[in-house]
Amino acid sequence: MASHTIMNLTFHCHRVSQKYLRSLSSSSVWEAFGSSHGSKIRDLPEVKAMSNLLGFLKELGHGTSNHSSSHSNTMPIKAIPSRFNEESYEHLLSRKEYLLSLDAAMMTFLLHVNARIASMVGVGYYTIGPCGEEALASAGVVFENQDSTALHYRHTAISLSRQLQQRISNFEDYDSVLDDLILGRARGYTVSRNDPVTGGVHCSIGGGENEFLVTSTLSSQCPPAVGRALGYSMADEMGLNRNRGKAVSFVTIGDGSLHNHHFLSSLTLARHAKHLQIKCPVIFGISDNGMSISYKTKQYVDTVFPATGNDPLMPVFRANGQDILSVYDKTKLAVDFARKYQSPSVLLYRNLVRRFGHAATDRQNAYLDPDTIQSMTDSCVLEASMRQATEVLNYTTYAELYDRFQEILKKTESAFSKAMDEPKVSFDDMIERVSVPIVPVPPYRESWKKNATIEKPQVMRKHMTRVLEEVLEADPSVCYLGEDVRHGGYYLVTEGLSSKFPKRIIDFPPDETTLLGAALGFSQLGMTPIVEIPYAKYLDCGADMFYEIAIQHWLSRPKKNEEGHIQGMIIRMQGFDRGLFGGNFHTHNSLAHIPPGVDVVCFSNGEDYVRGFRHALLQAKHGRIVMLVDCTNLLNLRHVHEKDRSWEMPYPSNPTDMTDFDQVHQYLGGTGKSDSPSISVAKIAIVSYGNGVVTSLQARRGLVQRKVIQDEDQVDIIDCPFLSGVPRGLEEILGNYNQVLFADICKEGPGSNVFSSMITSLKQRESLPESWAFVGAPRTYNPLGSTVTFLNTNTIEGAVEQLLKSNAK
């Protein structure tokens, strides 16, 4: 392809007289605040810069528009004075693309100015600024509709230009789209309930087709972006392509995020995929303005991605971030590379200047000298782009730009005027949107396999493997992700599955951040991932991404995918509670991570696990996040008392046989398990879950042997698998008992166990008997080769004795 050379602008913005500032006090939207904030508004650096730019355009355009301009897309390139630097381009923006990018750049600047004013007068709530990076707008026109983007909060210009191009390509009216995008962003800045991106809970870039939301957690957008890149080819094979073609995944960060583990883990995973020749078309876009809030990065990016030498696994493309043409050219080169070779690449946007500080609350004078602040404020990339469009490319005139700037300014002020008066979210809104609604359990079909034979009882682990095979066989969108899972995993739960489903049992390197992030990316492509966390303690390593997964539905304005629902996932957290191997780090017993939006269940036996897993998958298919906690001691447990083999159970082979979150199970003294709560004559109930059920059953036998109680009929065991709320079944049944003991296998103390909060809720609802107690594992860590620190029968027996004594008094 031919190389084009154009002169590029590098200078500070023009300054004009104060007369343009004075007009701001009578501006339509902010006029009402003139008496209290007029002088403060005029003194804002952003407002002065806007007035300077407006004056510059008016002076050069003489205030009258020449609408007869009809420059072609191939207008000859001409040289202009020496203040421009030469740069070569392989790809040039057409006139239409350039002017669209310029519109997005002006929108970005003017939205920011009004957001800062809105914050000052108390009606705006988000002021992290994109100014200085407006020229990145041309990156947005590079992408095809099927490509995914996840953009850093400064990259508003990329988002706006991409959405402009997408929507006019779908034959929407250009000016109507412009109005809609400006109003949508104004609603985000003022957290209007009508914000099309988050519905008024945050101010996030996104909302366009295949444009994924980014939270304020540094570079947390990177792991799911790599997940989407890895998932494209798999989605194709699953029949979930949806006309994606050779899609690429584009994700951006700032140079300060180079240090963040989300980015570093993602970069490593992408390079590793390339090393293994696995398709991973992800582009990491990094904007370098030399500042991470107050921290000066001092070209550290050059040490991470040296200009000399080539990375054989990931090429690096470098763009001048102040030049719209360079941004477009290098973005296209990076995207074309990723698309053609289905490989990762890095794209550096250099020479950026952060104007107006990090946010409205930023005290730049605390870490920058006044001259530097002024120099950064005066560096107007938007003016440089306007000069390039007129003086270099002849794509427009200053008169046309003056009119266009005025038009977008009026649209922006009108949008803020409307948005700031719209309602905010309510308490009920927040409660309802944490997760998608629970899907009712479908009717149990008695007719299924009428002649089915009675299943041979098996240990829990065998049932877990079998139910995974069942759902993988039944649903081609299901995939299984984990570390060492292809050969069966640490507890053999996936043993044999990779030979039956070779492309859907996927090994990942040992990094929970990218493992969970990739699962999120897979789910965003329409897959239903099941993610295995090898040991409970390892969830701590990926806790940030776990919370990012949990918050996605709450953050997103409710939308549905083509199947009519939002995709969720199942997380299998194993290596929990009692065990000899590995000590605290492999048999951890704390459930500190239960954020809103995650359903947590812990089953005590294989039969319930199968029913519960089917229900979990049903909920995940409709958008919920379900975490199953698997107790190590139960996986191969056969006996509860001596050699009774009572913990081997038959497989519930009817696929419609499910256990919902509200169901609890009773173990009545002497009669075994009951799934239908009944009125009991028992005076005491022990409520537990997982391995605690077995421990409680053994403790009940011990109380009889020690003659503390006459027989087992005096104590019922209630198995309560659902842990992230109060199951209805538990609340209904507790009224049948005089005394209740909650036996938690987690550690005692704040932030470690689940029953403490459940007890509080039950107490507030007046659903607890007067006499109740709580026991848990000691608040300590677990040694290797010993089970002394786990919940044991002695602790439970002692607590029951205390309850009986207190009742006797």
Q: CA 714 to CA 293: how far, in whole Å?
A: 64
- Determine the residue type at 278: I
Report the greatest alpha carbon distance in the chain.
102
Give residue 147's pLDDT band: very low, low, confident or very high (50, 70, 90): very high
Q: Find, among 282, 229, 223, the residue nearest to 257 by Cα.
A: 223
DSSP 714: G
Task: Give all strands (DSSP E) within 196-322, no chain letters.
Answer: 249-254, 282-287, 291-292, 295-296, 316-320
Contact at 8 Å (CB) between 206 and 214? Answer: yes
Q: CA 520 to CA 227: how far, in whole Å?
A: 7
Which residue is it, tokens 């005025």? Answer: 406
Q: Find, among 43, 38, 36, 40, the residue nearest to 18 by Cα.
A: 43
Q: What is the pLDDT of residue 73?
A: 37
Contact at 8 Å (CB) between 553 and 566? Answer: yes
Q: CA 176 to CA 618: how far, in whole Å?
A: 40
Q: What is the mean pLDDT of the chain?
A: 89
Give residue 71's pLDDT band: very low, low, confident or very high (50, 70, 90): very low
Q: What percent of the chain has pLDDT over 90?
A: 75
Q: What is the pLDDT of residue 83?
A: 35
Which whole number is the average pLDDT over 474-485? Answer: 95
Q: CA 386 to CA 89: how far, in whole Å?
A: 19
How many C-beta atoms lie closer than 10 Å to residue 776's C-beta? 22
pLDDT tens by residue, 333-366? 999 999 999 999 999 999 999 999 999 999 999 9
Least confident window among 291-305, 337-351, 530-544: 291-305
Q: CA 325 to CA 105: how far, in whole Å?
A: 13
Q: Which residues in 231-256 are b (16+ Cβ under 10 Å) and which e?
A: bbbbbbebebbeebebbbbbbbbbbb
Domains of the chain and any CATH numbers:
4-71+89-127+134-428 (3.40.50.970), 460-634 (3.40.50.970), 665-808 (3.40.50.920)
Contact at 8 Å (CB) between 661 and 438? Answer: yes
CA 680 to each of CA 386, 527, 674, 738, 769: distance values in angstroms, whole numbers, following the listed order = 81, 45, 11, 11, 14
CA 674 to each of CA 446, 460, 684: distance values in angstroms, whole numbers, following the listed order = 20, 19, 17
pLDDT tens by residue, 358-415? 999 999 999 999 999 999 999 999 999 999 999 999 999 999 999 999 999 999 999 9
Q: CA 110 to CA 107: how far, in whole Å?
A: 5
- Say which residues have a Cβ less than 8 Å from residue 760's Cβ, sequence separation at least 6: none
Q: CA 312 to CA 385: how far, in whole Å?
A: 35
Edge-to-edge strands of the sheet including 771-777? 672-674, 665-668, 715-719, 684-688, 739-747, 771-777
Q: CA 382 to CA 112: how far, in whole Å?
A: 13
Contact at 8 Å (CB) between 590 and 777? Answer: no
pLDDT tens by residue, 564-580? 446 799 999 999 999 88
Task: Give all strands (DSSP E) within 69-126, no chain letters.
Answer: 84-89
Q: CA 177 to CA 183: how far, in whole Å?
A: 10
Q: Which residues in 534-544 are b (16+ Cβ under 10 Å) and which e?
A: bbbbbbbbbbb
Contact at 8 Å (CB) between 587 and 543? Answer: no
Q: Find, among 628, 627, 620, 504, the residue nearest to 567 by Cα.
A: 620
Query: How do 665-668 and 715-719 pair as beta strands?
Result: antiparallel
Q: What are phi and psi of 674, to 5 degrees?
A: -130, 125
> How close are the terminal C-alpha atoms of the chain, in Å?
93
Q: CA 672 to CA 337: how far, in whole Å?
A: 64
Least confident window among 22-26, 500-504, 596-600: 22-26
Angle at 256 between CA 254 and CA 258, to 5 degrees: 85
Give residue 78's pLDDT band: very low, low, confident or very high (50, 70, 90): very low
Q: Which residues in 93-121 are b (16+ Cβ under 10 Å) and which e?
A: bebebbbbbbbbbbbbbbbbbbbbbbbbb
Q: CA 112 to CA 358: how far, in whole Å?
A: 12
What does R_g of the chain's alpha carbons equal in angstroms?
31
pLDDT tens by residue, 742-786? 999 999 999 899 999 999 999 999 999 999 999 999 999 999 999
Q: CA 132 to CA 354: how far, in whole Å?
A: 5
- Say which residues have a Cβ less than 8 Å from residue 620's Cβ, sequence separation at least 6: 528, 567, 568, 569, 570, 626
pLDDT tens by residue, 17-44? 455 555 554 456 887 786 677 788 889 9
Residue 665 predicted with pLDDT over 60? yes
Contact at 8 Å (CB) between 8 and 393? Answer: no
pLDDT tens by residue, 194-246? 999 999 999 998 888 899 999 888 899 999 999 999 999 888 888 776 666 78
Beta bridge partners of 285: 252, 347
Q: What is the pLDDT of residue 678?
A: 59
